[in-house]
Amino acid sequence: MNKKEVRCARMNESYVHIEHPSGLTLLLCPMPQFGSSYAMFGTDYGSVDTAFRLAGEKEFFHIPDGTAHFLEHKMFESEKGDAFADYARTGASANAFTSFDKTCYLFSCADHFKESLEILLGFVTDPYFTPETVDKEQGIIGQEIRMYDDSADWRVMFNLLDALYVNHPIKIDIAGTTETIAQITAEGLHHIYRSFYNLHNMVLAIAGNFRVEDVLEVADKVLRPSEKLEVERLEVEEPYEVSRRRVEQRFPIASPMFCIGFKEKPGDKRENAVNSILDEVLNEILVGEASPLYRRLYDEGLINTTFGSESLSGRDYMASMYSGESRDPDKVYEAICDEIERVKREGIDDEAFYRNQRAAWGRYIRMLNRVDSTAQVLMNTWFSDMGLYELLDVVAEMKKEDLEKRLRENFNREQSAISVVLPEA
């Protein structure tokens, strides 16, 4: 077993990195000053993984849209019952989620930590799929898909992604459609599970009031050595151009909603993670609550407190998005584009840069003082080929010129789009 301590000189804190004999990576951050623990067990597999093949295979296995999310739901079921019932006996609060590029299972607890961890490692490493249970789940997920279709917030975002991207599967709804999940079979789920739920492709991140020895005891008891597999994912060629500049839909809502996006040039996973932090600070400078543009749009009644920005990044995609409610979404779009061009010409104000850099530093420090966000950042950075504390280095060492370069090279009107949801006529 390979075990090492990873220290942060800036904060004088540390976590433990362990390569378990089973093949699983353990990222453990004991925080004894807290009364609870938060554990996440995740795999590097999400909705954008649409086809793959193992070493030695000639043909790609094509995955129906929505399978990663479907598989997440199925993992909680076993021949003995439901994992949530087991968690009820330990008092832990459990959940799971599927994103574009990962699937995670998690729990938080104040006591019975070892028992809850054993449940987590147990059900995620013991799949149970039959044709009958798959058929049953297709009906349940179908209802969930219809619920998402009726959500204006969900649709305004995915309509934007569909406008920004031409071929990339990020434009596909994470849950898929009723037609695509109907193609899912128990045999296909087993093949996908064996390929992506391989322990060498997974990580266990835990933060809070626990002992490293207890984690190792449970891992040694539950986990069995896993053969490392070479999985080749099908790469999709995506042009820098957007699919279309504007998309509109009508919904039974009271006020128009919008989502504006700038399609950026992606790098590798690590570069995208670093650039996402830079973009976070850059977007605060451009449209954050303390920015001149935000104050002007707010005073003119063009935005309200629902307005916000987000940097969306992953394995091979990158975008900055701005969303909210407005009586005139297109005017907000033009104002953001004009402000970006102005800052490109005039440069970033020194005081605004330092203020937002310090604010970002404060946000990350606060994140690392919570057990849930610490575990989440441990997992996210690992899947981005980074270490937990490298986030702080990126924030502390960024320069104004770095942000100005990001702005010049990636925030272009031609590679932007707007999605609008309007009230029904």
Percentage of residues in the chain having pLDDT higher than 90 = 91
Alpha-helical segments (H) within 76-207? 83-90, 113-124, 131-149, 152-164, 178-181, 186-196
**pLDDT per residue over 35-44, tens digit each?**
999 999 999 9
Alpha carbon distance 97, 113 (integer Å)? 21
Contacts of 17 by beta carbon, 8 Å cutoff, 6+ apart: 3, 4, 5, 6, 25, 26, 27, 28
**Residues 191 and 61 sit within 8 Å (Cβ to Cβ):** yes
Instruction: Compute the distance between CA of residue 108 and CA of residue 119 in angstroms, rounded to an integer.
Output: 12
Burial class (CB in 10 A: 0-12, 13-18, 19+), 34: middle
* Per-residue tokens: 392: 């702080």
Helix (H), strand (E), coil (C) string for 372-391: HHHHHHHHHHHHCCCCCCHH
pLDDT digits 0-9 by tens, 343-358: 999 999 999 999 999 9
Does pLDDT of 378 surpass 90? yes
Top-level class of domain 246-423 = alpha beta
Nearest to 321 by CA among 147, 168, 150, 165: 165
pLDDT at 104: 98
**What confidence tier does 139 reach under pLDDT thresholds 50, 70, 90?**
confident
Regarding pTM above 0.75, the answer is yes
pLDDT the model gives residue 137: 87
- Tell me which residue of 75, 82, 19, 35 sits closest to 225, measured CA to CA: 19
H-helix segments, 22-151 = 67-75, 83-90, 113-124, 131-149
- Note the pLDDT of residue 92: 97
At residue 339, does pLDDT exceed 90?
A: yes
For residues 311 and 283, the answer to whether their CB atoms sit within 8 Å is yes
Active site residue 59: no
Which distant-in-sequence residues (6+ apart) come within 8 Å of 71 by Cβ? 103, 189, 192, 193
pLDDT, residue 144, reads 87
CB 257 within 8 A of CB 247: no
Query: CA 111 to CA 94: how far, in whole Å?
Result: 14
- What rounded mean pLDDT belongs to the chain? 95
Which one is catalytic: 19, 72, 79, 132? Answer: 72
Cβ atoms of 28 and 15 within 8 Å: the answer is: yes
Same fold, 2-233 and 246-423: yes
CA–CA distance, 74 with 96 (Å, rounded to integer): 11
What is the pLDDT averaged over residues 254-272? 96
- Token output for 53: 């093949």
Q: Of all residues in the chain, what percent carry a pLDDT higher than 70?
A: 100
Work out the widest C-alpha separation in the chain, in whole angstroms: 65
Residues near 332 by beta carbon (within 8 Å), at least 6 away in sequence: 258, 260, 297, 302, 303, 322, 324, 326
Please determine, for residue 149, whether its predicted confidence score (pLDDT) is greater than 90: no
Model confidence pLDDT, tens digit, residues 392-414: 999 999 999 999 999 999 999 99
Identify the pLDDT of residue 143.
Answer: 87
What's the CA gap between 252 and 152, in Å, rounded?
9
The full set of domain ranges for the chain reads 2-233, 246-423
Residue range 59-92, pLDDT digits in tens: 999 999 999 999 999 999 887 778 999 999 999 9
Angstrom distance (rounded) from CA 149 to CA 325: 19
Tally of CA atoms within 13 A in the half-sphere of 224 that contains its CB: 4
Report yes or no: 13 and 28 within 8 Å, Cβ to Cβ.
no
Q: In the numeric block, which tokens belong to residue 414?
A: 């031609």
Q: What superfamily does domain 2-233 belong to in CATH?
A: Metalloenzyme, LuxS/M16 peptidase-like (3.30.830.10)
Average pLDDT over residues 19-39: 97
Span of 74-83, 107-116, 227-236, 305-314 with lowest mean pLDDT: 74-83
